[in-house]
Chain A
Amino acid sequence: MTEHDPRTVPYREREESITVDTLGGTDEPLSGTELAPETELLTINLGPHHPATHGVLRLLCTLEGEVVRDIHPIIGYVHTGIEKSCEDQEYWKAITFVERMDYLAYYFNAMAYCMSVERLLGEDVPPRAQYLRVIHLELNRIASHLFWLGTAALDIGAVTMLWWSLRERDLILDLFEMSSGQRLHPRFFQVGGVFEDIPPGWEAKCRSFLAQMPSRIDQYEALLDRNEIWLQRMKGTGIVSRERMLELGVTGPLLRATGEPWDLRKATPYSSYDHFDFKVPVGTVGDNYDRYRVRLAEMRESLKIVEQALDGLPEGPYITTNRKVALPPRHELATSMEALIHHFKLVTEGFRVPPGEVYTPIESPRGELGCFVMADGSSKPARVHMRDPSFTNLQSLADMGRGSLLADFIACIAMLDPILGGIDR
């Protein structure tokens, strides 16, 4: 394969389209024509502008007939330099930036970042805030999996699934809007707690969602589980062994589908995940069907966590009472000089964080989301780095797709669930 490695072609030449050359009337042979017809390889671009790539992901595929022989992902098309921008923001302003990395798991980005800063500050988060965080994280996990389910089924050709899953996702976004004012990128998590307590009526609305969601998941399963087209695309395709997945650093549902019960919520419980009773779904063979089943089972487990968290939601403050870190309540500003000073200092300068480095991993819908924060003692982070699971998981795509049919390979991309905002950051 090495002599046909498309990466050996210089960058500028590779960008020139082959089609243009033949239209120009030159008789020069195209690459690969010197080979016998049955072994002729065709290198094509899948993406970057293709709905099946779930964003601007470009895959340089080498095809032999309809069989995929090699895949090279080319990324960076939506690189926006968020990590660099964070270095120019105060700690509490950077939350807005990190949320935009993995745009389907915004609460998780904010959580990893806030946990890192809290560790550096030595700040304790009140129990009510921890529970509110868990509730929103798990609702976000369901929303993310719902979006994945809809788009994945759309890639296989099941259009109904997209409308169904977006219908339920909207219910979750309504809840987000009610608690934070925003449907996407809510910036609800603060350093030291959450932005605001949940409003009256939120719990009832959430409970009505929890009550109807299990039957909706039943409907998804009824639509897909025994669907002939779905099964033929999913069963036995894209198999990667557990050992190979670990070598490639793959985490999350992809790893659990191979039978490895590795979930950071269980392995190293953070926030208040050790208070809740839930299971870690695992697969058996690690094919695409297992990946689908694991994610669907995870949605049910997340519902259980949200329900338990609502039942046991403790009373108390929703954000730390340390005024050096969290803004004082609005009503205090009119009466307390101290509160006014704290407010002014926090808004103009932000809080200073003692020098240090931390790496905080959490379990996002796609795997281990680690946030590395380096502080230099000023009020702006010296380095914010997200170990985004999509970025690492993308490396397993070549192993999944090599040797499979092109149509199965599309299913592999769908089951990988790459989020390009997270990959490129």
Chain B
Amino acid sequence: MPDQTGLELVAQRVREAVGDEAVVGTHHAYDRGSLEVAPARVHDVLTHLRDADEEPYGVLASLHGCDYLPSEPRLGVHYELLSMQSRERLNVKTRVTVEDPHVPTVTDLFPTADFHEREVYDFFGVVFDGHPDMRRILMPEDYEGHPQRRDFPMGGEPVLFTFNEHKLPRWYD
């Protein structure tokens, strides 16, 4: 994990190479450096970090989403980058609104992102523009809603027992 200073240096290099508006902020806590970037510039920032940076992060270890309800913008997408040479990890994250959940895909940079982006789309509804196969992955294809959003109810179906099976509405359909 880069320390606070290292993280600022990375952020500075990204600002110089990609543009000032690309980096929204840096967070360093719990031994974890996190670079928050603008959603539209994710692809450019990751391209820079993978190829052009002086401390390149060549592997995308993980990609996952989260929901920051109640703060806005609500949806977050996290990219866990890994450098096998320096054995360091860097978190790149971006936040999008529920109304306009669009992030460019990184499957062309990291083919491993294919399943991960589909999973984030499935559970959070973040659309990755340019993804070759943007479909649900774990939920059924005709499922409605994005269940990992925090305002999605836990739900559950009533359990059928012999004593209540006739009371449950239209259980026989």
Contact = CB atoms under 8 A, between A and B. Distances in A.
B61 A361 contact: yes
Contacts of B61: 249, 361, 368, 370, 387
A382 B65 CA distance: 12
B29 interface: yes
B71 to A, nearest CB: 10
B111 A75 contact: no
Interface in A87-129: 87-88, 119-120
Given A267-B87, A359-B89, A246 B58 contact: yes
A374 B76 CA distance: 11
Contacts of B147: 81, 84
Interface string A324-362: 000000000000000000000000000000001111010
B141 A11 contact: yes
Interface string B71-88: 000000010100010010
Contacts of A391: 115, 119
Given A368-B61, A387-B62, A75 B78 contact: no
A382 B150 contact: yes
A79 B112 contact: no
A387 B82 CA distance: 14
A119 B30 contact: yes
Given A7-B133, A120-B30, A249-B110, A359 B80 contact: yes
Interface string A229-264: 000000000000000001111100000000000100
B105 interface: no
Interface in B130-144: 133, 135-142
A248 B111 contact: yes
A145 to B, nearest CB: 23
A157 interface: no
Contact of B34 (A85, A88, A357): A357
Nearest to B93: A357
Given A359-B78, A387-B80, A392 B112 contact: yes
Q: How large is the interface on A (under 10, 10 to 19, 20 to 34, 35 or more residues)?
A: 35 or more
Contacts of B142: 11
A262 B150 CA distance: 36
B32 A359 contact: yes
A395 interface: yes
A356 B30 contact: yes
A85 B67 CA distance: 15
Nearest to A425: B138
Interface in A284-323: none
Nearest to A268: B87
Contacts of A268: 87
Contacts of A387: 61-62, 64, 80
B91 interface: yes
Contacts of A425: 138
A96 to B, nearest CB: 17
B154 interface: yes
B66 interface: yes
Interface string A384-396: 0101000110110
Given A88-B154, A358-B30, A382-B150, A370 B80 contact: yes
Given A84-B148, A387-B80, A374 B30 contact: no
B59 interface: yes
Interface in A1-37: 7, 11
A138 interface: no
B156 to A, nearest CB: 10
B173 interface: no
Given A76-B140, A249-B112, A395-B115, A359 B66 contact: no
Contacts of B89: 359, 361
B114 interface: yes
Contact of B66 (A85, A356, A358, A383): A383
A176 interface: no
B59 A357 contact: no
Give the 4 A-B CB pairs with smallest separation, nearest first.
A249-B112, A387-B62, A76-B138, A79-B138
29 contacts: A75-B137, A76-B138, A76-B139, A76-B140, A81-B147, A83-B148, A84-B147, A119-B31, A249-B61, A249-B62, A267-B84, A356-B29, A357-B30, A359-B32, A359-B89, A370-B80, A372-B66, A372-B80, A382-B67, A383-B67, A383-B148, A385-B64, A387-B80, A391-B119, A392-B62, A392-B115, A392-B116, A394-B115, A425-B138
